[in-house]
Amino acid sequence: MLSYRHAFHAGNHADVLKHLTLVRIARYLGEKPAPFWIVDTHAGAGRYALDSEYASKLAEYRDGIGRLWEAEDLPPAAADYVDLVRSLNPDGRLRHYPGSPWLASQLLRDGDRLRLFELHSSDVKLLQECFRGRGRQVTITAGDGFAGLKAVLPPPPRRGLVLIDPSYETRDDYANVIKGLREALQRFPTGTYALWYPLLAKPEAQKLPGRLRALGAADWLHATLQVSAPSRDGFGMHGSGMFIINPPWTLKKTLQDTLPQVAALLAQGDGAGFTLEGEST
């Protein structure tokens, strides 16, 4: 896990799904006057230079945010997300991409709080630099985000979003998201939890949605975005998913209205598309 650097993948199709969903949930939380917290268990560096050695090596952003950057007549939720990315690129050129922490920070009000965890020593330093001067509103912890949830949940205002998106480089990550979610729900059962995961051929990834449903949450929403069919050799990520527990009641309709066009824009071949399912009380 410590070898993982999200800079290699910044702005790719998986980030589009994850960050579009994050923005919608944070917007919903902000509709009520009561304060809320956002907790990011695997925060990364905060923001990324797309012309850096890391990002330009694979240039995955070109088939992600790059395709939405020039698109016209985007659905409102997608346009809102792209506008936030544009605010980090005021000259109109796509040269910087915001990570989840930066996007979340733009949607905070005075009484809201952002709690960030990151294990990679280099990314922690970049994250601290990204939020220098933000004071108590943004707290950064160098450490394991799963362990950190025990200290921050439930948040004092009893309103909040927990974003969980580990690298899934090891089998332990799949087990840890189930264990972490189960323990978090015991501490903060009314919170909103947004878990990102990759669509891969490996059994651990394919079994994860079923294990998440088995947690028994009464309200959940599961969205996937595929940009291609799985490769014949079984390697590579052909899409990703978001599993949201206690989602905003508006989120399903928003994704129904948004994902068809986003999936079409990001398609890289046969098999591209999206799925959306959920259960609510």
**Is 39 in contact with 262 (CB distance < 8 Å)?**
no
Q: Which of 207, 281, 214, 270 is nearest to 241 (CA)?
A: 207
Q: Which tokens belong to 161?
A: 């979003």
H/E run at residue 240: strand 239-245
The helix/strand/coil state of 133 is: coil
Q: Which of 218, 150, 221, 151 is nearest to 184 (CA)?
A: 150
- Active-site hit among 40, 112, 165, 173: 165
Pairing relationship of beta strands 113-118 and 37-40 according to DSSP bridges: parallel
The segments of the chain whose pLDDT lies below 50 read 1-3
Q: Which of 257, 225, 214 is nearest to 76 (CA)?
A: 257
Q: Look up 233 and say whether it is catalytic.
A: no
CA 138, CA 169: separation in Å to the nearest integer? Answer: 28
- Residue 47 to residues 67, 68, 103, 246: CA-CA distances in angstroms? 19, 18, 9, 28
Q: What is the pTM of this model?
A: 0.95
pLDDT at 4: 54
Burial 4-33 (b: 16+ CB within 10 A, else e): bbbbbbbbbbbbbbbbbbbbbbbebbeeee
Instruction: Say what angle helices 13-29 and 251-266 make with each other, to 10 degrees.
Output: 160
| 3-state class percentages of the chain: helix first, strand second, coil last, to nearest 5 | 40, 20, 40
Q: Which of 198, 194, 252 is nearest to 225 (CA)?
A: 198
pLDDT at 51: 87
Eight-state DSSP code of residue 226: E
pLDDT at 1: 41
Q: Which of 182, 275, 260, 244 is nearest to 26 (CA)?
A: 244
CA 281, CA 214: separation in Å to the nearest integer? Answer: 16
